[in-house]
Structure 1
Amino acid sequence: MAEVQQDVIVHNALVRNALVRNALVRNALVRNALVRNGLTSSALLGNSNTRDALRDPESRQLLSFIVSCALPEEDSLDIRVDGVSYRFPGELGLAPEWGKKNGSCGESCQEWVSACLLARVNYKGEHVMISLRGKNDALSSTKRERAMYDVSEATYYGNVFLDQQRRFACLAPGQSSIPRVCGPSLDDCVVDVVGDCEEVCDKTRPDGSFPNCRDREPFELQCGVRVFPRGTDTYKASVSVFLE
């Protein structure tokens, strides 16, 4: 297989409040006016509730990260709110279909964009460069990237577009905390840290990322087989973060 030519290294500065508290995700607008329509100016501004929500700077910050995660570099979203123009450029392209005129964001799209958003939260709102990897062509990494960003931090997954957000993470081997995302403690973290990725996900991929992660820890291993509690959900879309 030919080596990919583009690094998947992005900044993270999405603040916790913008993800958890803002109007786009708290009042079900995502179900009615965002994910069911294309990620386009006409779809967003055609709904008065969404238009009002975008007057909030935190809502615009979240939208900028949504667009960055979902759309490829050649696409962008331009909106005008109260006479002020804003441009949100695409970057990763995890859900390019969402940006089409009649596009929408189904379950797979929601989970890929959610994992990307969760991976880019920063407890202090600081810009830190991170490497994103996962089982998605848009997250293919180069040898140079893997060499430069070789400290495995955590894997993120869930769905923030549901009425009751699902925000999960698991710890990379050897890690006991996620200060970049959670701050000094896991107790009040924006994500529920399920456990060790080696226990809740399938075995690592060649790039070091963990696929198919669960929202619960397994029971004790029986004859080397993991047994998960009834009702455990598996997320095919997960994003593993690596630091310098």
Structure 2
Amino acid sequence: MAEVQQDVIVHNALVRNALVRNALVRNALIRNALIRNDLTSSALMGNSLTRDALRDAESRQLFSFIVSCALPEDESVDVKVDGVPYHFPGELGLAPEWGKKHGSCGESCQEWVSACLLARVNYKGEHVMISLRGKNEALSSTKKERAGYDVPEATYYGNVFLEQQRRFACLAPGKSSIPRVCGPSLKDCVVDVVGGDCEEVCDKMRPDGSFTNCRDREPFELQCGAPVFPRGTDSYKASVSVFLE
């Protein structure tokens, strides 16, 4: 397989409140107006709900990360709110279909963008460079990136676009905390940390160190060496694993 040419190293500075209290994702009408329409300037400004929501600074911060996660780097969204222009560039391209005319953000799109958003929360709102990896072509990593960012942190997954947000993470093997995202304690963290580590709640680690099919509950027993999860356990194909320098 040919080596990819572009690193997937991005900054993180999304603050907790912009994600969990924000009108863009907490207000059902605005949330539906956002995900059921294409992620373009005309669609956003043509809808009074999303246009009004973008008057809020925290909404604009969250929206900037949504666009960065969803759209590729050669696309962007430009809007004018109360006469003030704002430019939101794409970066990763995890859900490029959302940016197409008449596009929308279905379940897969929502979960990829959610995992990316959760991975980019920073407890202190600081800019720290992180490497994102996962089972998505947009997250293919280079040898140089893997060598430079070789400290596994955690894997993030869920869906923040649901009425009851689903925000999960599992720890990288050998880790006991996520200070970048959670601060000094896992208590009251923006994500619910599931299981002892990702090897307990996800499928086998991929060659790049990432995990997929991560569950929202830990197994309650092993049968023939395989984990058995409680009835009602959900798994997420879309997950983003973070590595630090």
Q: How many Å apart are 1:30 and its aligned residue?
A: 5.0
1:100-119 equivalence runs, <5 A: 100-119=100-119
Specify the alignment match of 2:63 in structure 1.
Answer: 63
1:71-220 equivalence runs, <5 A: 71-195=71-195, 196-220=197-221
Asked whether the equivalents of residues 65 and 117 of structure 2 are also in contact (C-alpha less than 8 Å), the reply is yes
Deviations 1:22-74 (A, max 9, x none): 11011114542111000011211222121111000000000000000000000
d(CA) in 2 for partners of 1:30, 1:112 = 20
d(CA) in 2 for partners of 1:95, 1:167 = 19
d(CA) in 1 for partners of 2:9, 2:30 = 27
5+ residue gaps in structure 2?
none
Provide the secondary structure at the position in 1 that maps to 2:228.
coil
Provide the secondary structure at the position in 2 that maps to 1:198.
helix
TM-score normalised by the chain length of structure 2 = 0.98
The count of aligned residue pairs is 244
d(CA) in 2 for partners of 1:48, 1:96 = 24
Q: Which segment is superposed worse, 214-223 or 70-79?
A: 214-223
Asked whether the equivalents of residues 29 and 50 of structure 1 are also in contact (C-alpha less than 8 Å), the reply is no
Name the amino acid aligned to 2:140.
Answer: S
Specify the alignment match of 2:228 in structure 1.
Answer: 227
TM-score normalised by the chain length of structure 1 = 0.98
Asked whether the equivalents of residues 69 and 91 of structure 2 are also in contact (C-alpha less than 8 Å), the reply is yes
Q: How many Å apart are 1:159 and its aligned residue?
A: 0.3
Asked whether the equivalents of residues 33 and 43 of structure 1 are also in contact (C-alpha less than 8 Å), the reply is no
d(CA) in 2 for partners of 1:166, 1:10 = 23
Q: Which runs of 4+ in 1 moved over 4 A?
A: none
Asked whether the equivalents of residues 23 and 59 of structure 2 are also in contact (C-alpha less than 8 Å), the reply is yes
Name the amino acid aligned to 1:156.
Answer: Y
d(CA) in 2 for partners of 1:222, 1:107 = 31
